[in-house]
């Protein structure tokens, strides 16, 4: 089934806006301004200026992390007592670059006190701290560990470290647990409000902000070393981790990319790893498609990533070249294995009925876990729907693997709806990891297809549309247009994706099959020249993962991205159709007006949504009203602070106990409002009361509690409390979703 094309409705940017953008940013042009306008960047002073030029951005202070002062005090103690310090990192690109940033950045501060870094071996360990790793560092005399990109879920391991006389400063960006971690200090952007500019930092970004605070605290120790020299590594980690590049993330990525674009400042390891892919400059594309895959390949194939930190920090060109050549061989092996898995996966997909299967779920006993996410992403791109790949183990009866989303489906929500089937599960709207019993796989497949069908309002599996930003002509495809588009970089997959360009009625000529099987890639593609009907203009193009026979005869319409690789400019084809039969739909009525990041500025007329929705049901009610009244929805809310399950429970307990003593009944609506929770979550809380021996009576409007002389918890209490805590976490997730999801996703979430 073909994926429909949708062209954004014409909403021309005002001429004065276009001219103002061009005056303030000379590389920008009319197309740059039009894309800014379409994507909601319309305030020249508050939005456009800061978005385009990092020099106009005011960087957030690292002291805004709530426990930064604690981290600095613990580091001061290490100075005073001459303690041995080690870094604990992670094995993906974000974790490796974060380790390199701390390893290089802490040396001027700690000198010989910085004795080692430790990164788990992916083939033997999972993410995070481990008991045996802590014992290894203990034997080296380490008494302070600073983590990066990991640690915030390792309460038990941190407690074990304390028994060894080791304290831990955790710098991480992953999900926080509700219980205290026991670390000397915890630096995590999730401690900050959702709208905070530091909130979306990845692990390498948090590590860099920690160093910023330390360098400001002890300037006398860091004279002669410019912290900014680490920004190239920061940009690589941010872009590789696919975070939303806004706020501090965009600022750091822009600065780092600018540093990488100066070829004379390239680190020997980065230069060696990119050759011959890049000769002059390093752009975001080179990081995404050359650097990150090579860095990630090492953990997927060999497990041990210590050589990567050496590669990124060495000043020795010979050593860098030697390590880079080894990594090239590893990446080549990764591609070979990935290709084998993908071939099997595509054969399995061919046996599915994709007209009724909204999600692709495949299993195999021989698949390696470390490569399943990559193949799942490939299937998503090919078939336009979510994909789940699982490694099954008949001996244990368990299956584990990775899931990837098509960018339209909230994958976390879909899987979370079936959380009772999982032994382990974690992720975010676009990617997840899971573990479950083999016997539950058919149940999962059926439940997900039903869930997705209900979300779409139909049982059919219609691929999500390919959204097109602008229509251009063949003669507009040139270096000038590329420079205009690059003014908007860096891009990300959700908040600010690369522009998709439509070129209509051109003829593909000189088609040739190509296969790159060397160290750079093993993919196939069709090279061609595009020619307009008059034959006046031609332009080179590539169509990856296709063959000449896939290309229709005659004039075609194409959706492309413009690319420069080395010194060559070409069009990368995202989709291609015969012009004579191609139907391009106008995008749905854009009835959502986004002021979520600046509610006070929402002066547009329409229905104002001033409270962040907590559920799809409440969101659907707004959508239905907007359609019924034919008014736009003005999203004039920001994300409220996240609910703390413990605090909500304590307030609930206080109100119920007080009402019981006074012999009063509680109004459910008022109780929900006071606690800031939904009706279903309140029911979970009432269930906990019942397990404590409290007599609970309630109607649709009221709640009445009678306290016993003494409350007693039981095993049922722990289970009920866990369900209540999960419900609070679910509400927090809903709020985050409605506060940050792209408008396109919100428009389709009804």
Asked whether residue 165 is domain-assigned, the answer is: yes
438 and 476 housed in the same domain: no
Report the C-alpha gap between 193 and 174 in whole angstroms: 15
Whether the CB-CB separation of 395 and 401 falls below 8 Å is answered with no
121-144 burial, b if ≥16 CB within 10 A, otherwise e?
ebeeeebbbbeebbeebbeeebbb
289 and 360 housed in the same domain: no
Asked whether residue 341 is domain-assigned, the answer is: no
Helix ranges (DSSP H) in 430-559: 441-456, 479-486
535 and 680 housed in the same domain: no
66 and 47 housed in the same domain: no
437 and 481 housed in the same domain: no
Token pair in block for residue 493: 């997959």
Whether the CB-CB separation of 149 and 94 falls below 8 Å is answered with yes
Asked whether residue 175 is domain-assigned, the answer is: yes
Last residue of a domain, one of 422, 456, 490: 456
167 and 209 housed in the same domain: yes
Last residue of a domain, one of 292, 310, 328: 328
- In the chain, DSSP finds a helix count (H) and a strand count (E) of 25, 25
320 and 377 housed in the same domain: no
Report the C-alpha gap between 13 and 8 in whole angstroms: 13
Question: In Å, how far are 528, 533, 542, 577, 580 from 510, measured between CA atoms?
Answer: 5, 15, 12, 18, 21
Asked whether residue 619 is domain-assigned, the answer is: no
243 and 257 housed in the same domain: yes
Asked whether residue 343 is domain-assigned, the answer is: no
Asked whether residue 636 is domain-assigned, the answer is: no
CATH number at residue 687: 1.10.10
Per-residue HEC secondary structure of 617-631 comes to: HHHHHHHHHHHHHCC
Report the side by side order of strands in the sheet with 666-667: 666-667, 702-706, 695-698
Q: Is the dihedral of CA 439, 445, 450, 454 positive or negative?
A: positive
What total number of domains does the chain contain? Answer: 4
46 and 75 housed in the same domain: no
Question: What local confidence, expressed as pLDDT, does residue 408 receive?
Answer: 59
CATH number at residue 367: 3.10.310.30
**Domain assignment of residue 698, given as a range:** 645-737
The residues, ordered by sequence, that sit 6+ positions from 381 with a Cβ below 8 Å of its Cβ are none
Question: What local confidence, expressed as pLDDT, does residue 490 receive?
Answer: 92
96 and 49 housed in the same domain: no
Asked whether residue 639 is domain-assigned, the answer is: no
Token pair in block for residue 437: 């019993």
Can you list the residues of the chain whose pLDDT is less than 50?
277-280, 457-461, 518-521
CATH number at residue 9: 2.40.50.460
Quote the DSSP letter at residue 128: S
Whether the CB-CB separation of 50 and 66 falls below 8 Å is answered with no
111 and 206 housed in the same domain: yes
34 and 67 housed in the same domain: no
Question: What local confidence, expressed as pLDDT, does residue 742 receive?
Answer: 67
Question: What local confidence, expressed as pLDDT, does residue 515 receive?
Answer: 78
Tell me which residue of 119, 78, 125 sits closest to 100, measured CA to CA: 119
The DSSP-derived string for 295-354 is: HHHHHHHT---HHHHHHHH---HHHHHHHHHHHHHHHHHHHHHHHHHHHHHHHHHTTS-T
Question: In Å, how far are 528, 655, 676, 699 from 704, measured between CA atoms?
Answer: 74, 11, 19, 9
Last residue of a domain, one of 428, 456, 484: 456
Asked whether residue 10 is domain-assigned, the answer is: yes
């Amino acid at each position: 089934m073909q994926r429909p094309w949708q062209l954004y409705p014409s909403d021309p940017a005002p001429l004065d806006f276009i001219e103002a953008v061009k005056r303030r940013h000379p590389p920008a042009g009319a197309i740059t301004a039009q894309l800014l306008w379409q994507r909601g960047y319309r305030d020249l002073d508050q939005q456009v200026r800061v978005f385009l030029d990092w020099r106009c951005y005011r960087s957030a202070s690292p002291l805004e992390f709530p426990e930064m002062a604690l981290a600095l005090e613990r580091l001061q103690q290490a100075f005073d007592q001459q303690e041995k310090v080690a870094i604990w990192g992670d094995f993906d690109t974000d974790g490796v670059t974060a380790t390199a940033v701390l390893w290089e950045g802490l040396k001027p501060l700690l000198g010989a006190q910085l004795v080692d870094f430790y990164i788990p071996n992916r083939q033997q360990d999972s993410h995070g701290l481990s008991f045996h790793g802590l014992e290894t560092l203990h034997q080296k005399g380490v008494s302070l560990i600073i983590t990066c990109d990991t640690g915030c879920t390792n309460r038990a391991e941190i407690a074990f470290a304390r028994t060894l006389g080791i304290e831990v400063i955790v710098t991480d960006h992953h999900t926080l647990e509700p219980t205290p971690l026991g670390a000397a200090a915890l630096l995590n952007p999730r401690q900050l409000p959702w709208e905070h500019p530091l909130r979306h930092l990845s692990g390498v970004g948090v590590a860099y902000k920690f160093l910023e605070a330390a360098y400001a605290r002890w300037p006398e120790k860091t004279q002669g070393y410019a912290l900014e020299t680490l920004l190239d590594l920061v940009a690589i980690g941010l872009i590789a981790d696919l975070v939303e590049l806004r706020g501090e993330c965009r600022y750091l990525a822009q600065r780092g990319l600018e540093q990488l674009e100066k070829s004379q400042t390239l680190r020997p390891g980065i230069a060696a790893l990119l050759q011959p892919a890049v000769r002059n400059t390093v752009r975001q594309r080179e990081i995404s498609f050359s650097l990150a895959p090579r860095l990630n390949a090492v953990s997927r194939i060999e497990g041990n990533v210590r050589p990567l930190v050496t590669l990124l920090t060495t000043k020795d060109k010979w050593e860098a070249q030697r390590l880079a050549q080894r990594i090239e061989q590893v990446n080549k092996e990764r591609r070979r294995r990935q290709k084998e898995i993908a071939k099997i996966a595509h054969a399995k997909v061919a046996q599915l009925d994709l007209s009724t299967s909204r999600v692709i779920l495949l299993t195999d006993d021989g698949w390696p876990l470390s490569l399943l996410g990559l193949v799942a992403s490939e299937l998503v791109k090919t078939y336009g729907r979510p994909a789940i790949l699982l490694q099954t183990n008949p001996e244990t009866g368990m299956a584990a693997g990775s899931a990837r989303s098509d960018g339209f489906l909230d994958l976390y929500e879909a899987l979370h709806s079936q959380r009772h089937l999982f032994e382990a599960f974690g992720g975010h709207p676009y990617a997840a990891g899971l573990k479950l019993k083999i016997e539950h796989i058919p149940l999962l497949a059926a439940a997900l297809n039903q869930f997705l069908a209900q979300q779409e309002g139909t049982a059919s599996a219609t691929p999500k549309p390919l959204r097109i930003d602008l229509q251009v002509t063949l003669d507009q495809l040139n270096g000038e247009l590329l420079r205009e588009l690059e003014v908007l970089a860096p891009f990300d997959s959700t908040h600010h994706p690369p522009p998709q360009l439509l070129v209509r009625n051109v003829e593909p000529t000189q088609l040739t099959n190509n296969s790159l099987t060397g160290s750079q890639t093993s993919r196939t593609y069709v090279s061609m020249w595009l020619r307009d009907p008059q034959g006046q203009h031609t332009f080179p193009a590539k169509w990856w993962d296709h063959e000449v026979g896939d290309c229709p005869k005659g004039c075609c319409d194409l959706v492309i991205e413009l690319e420069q690789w080395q010194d060559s400019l070409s069009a990368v084809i995202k989709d291609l159709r015969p012009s004579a039969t191609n139907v391009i739909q106008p995008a749905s009525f854009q009835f959502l007006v986004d002021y979520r990041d600046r509610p006070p500025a929402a002066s547009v007329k329409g229905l104002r949504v001033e409270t962040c929705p907590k559920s799809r049901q409440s969101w659907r009610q707004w959508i239905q009203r907007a359609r019924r009244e034919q008014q736009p929805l003005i999203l004039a809310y920001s994300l409220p602070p996240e609910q703390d399950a413990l605090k909500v429970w304590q307030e609930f307990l206080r109100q119920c106990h007080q009402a019981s003593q006074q012999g009063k009944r509680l109004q459910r609506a008022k109780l929900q409002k006071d606690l800031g929770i939904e009706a279903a979550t309140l029911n979970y809380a009432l269930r906990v009361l019942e397990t404590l021996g409290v007599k609970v009576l309630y109607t649709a409007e009221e709640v009445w509690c009678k306290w016993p002389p003494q409350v007693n918890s039981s095993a049922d209490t722990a289970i009920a409390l866990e369900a209540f805590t999960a419900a609070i976490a679910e509400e927090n997730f809903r709020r985050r979703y409605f506060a940050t999801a792209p408008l396109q996703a919100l428009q389709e979430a009804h």
